[in-house]
Amino acid sequence: MFTGIVTHIGAVRRVAAAARGSRFEIAADVGKLGVGASIACSGVCLTVVEEGPAWFGLDASAETLSKTTLGAWRQGTRINLERPLKVGDELGGHFVLGHVDAVAEVVGRVSDGDSVRFTVRAAAALRHLLAPKGSVTLEGVALTINEVATNQVDWATFGVNIIPHTLAVTTLGDLRAGARLNLEVDPLARYVARIAEVGRAAS
């Protein structure tokens, strides 16, 4: 369980083929993690499988590579990192599972005072899980949705506003139109939608 509050930025230092997936080594000074620990990497919950001074290793399955942006990671790729939430920690963002729902795309970036407003496009199947003033996680960063387009059929398009601090301490400041990013909807929205779906099927 995470909160979407990024604490470190790491960089991929090595990518290697592994059995039915890939092995990544991440350079980051995040302190002692421990083999078997979980860590959110640009929104994807992964398990530490090896560790060294200021780096750690991760395995990503073929399924993970196909459903996230990890398949495009290369040496030097910058990634957002968050260690798991501990009982008693401050919940500064919202509950984040690290289970990516889809790969979305930045379709617009404009300045909005000192902030930046992104327009993001995702699969139409996610539209009912996105709400104005609701929560969404992009690249592991907890954000508030400003608006959701209501005049589209083929896509779910929404806007988020990124403040200067977030631009500086995450990789979101690097993004331009065309960038692909890991998207996780608010887990509460996902379960409410599932309950409603089961209820309709049973009636």
Residue 193 and residue 107 share a domain: yes
**CATH number, residue 193:** 2.40.30.20
Residue 70 and residue 40 share a domain: yes
* 43-95 tens-digit pLDDT: 999 999 999 999 999 999 999 999 999 999 999 999 999 999 887 777 777 88
Domain that holds residue 182: 102-202
Alpha helices in 44-152 (DSSP H): 62-67
Going by pLDDT thresholds of 50, 70 and 90, the confidence category of residue 16 is very high
Residue 194 and residue 115 share a domain: yes
Asked if residue 97 belongs to a domain, the reply is: no
Going by pLDDT thresholds of 50, 70 and 90, the confidence category of residue 131 is very high
Residue 149's φ and ψ, nearest 5 degrees, are: -65, 135
Residue 111's φ and ψ, nearest 5 degrees, are: -70, 145
Distance (Å, whole) CA 24 – CA 16: 7
Count of structural domains, the chain? 2
Say if residues 92 and 3 touch (Cβ distance below 8 Å).
yes
Identify the burial level of 170 via C-beta atoms within 10 angstroms of its C-beta, where 0-12 means exposed, 13-18 middle and 19 or more buried: buried
- pTM for the model: 0.93
Out of 24, 47, 82, a domain closes at: 82
Asked if residue 88 belongs to a domain, the reply is: no
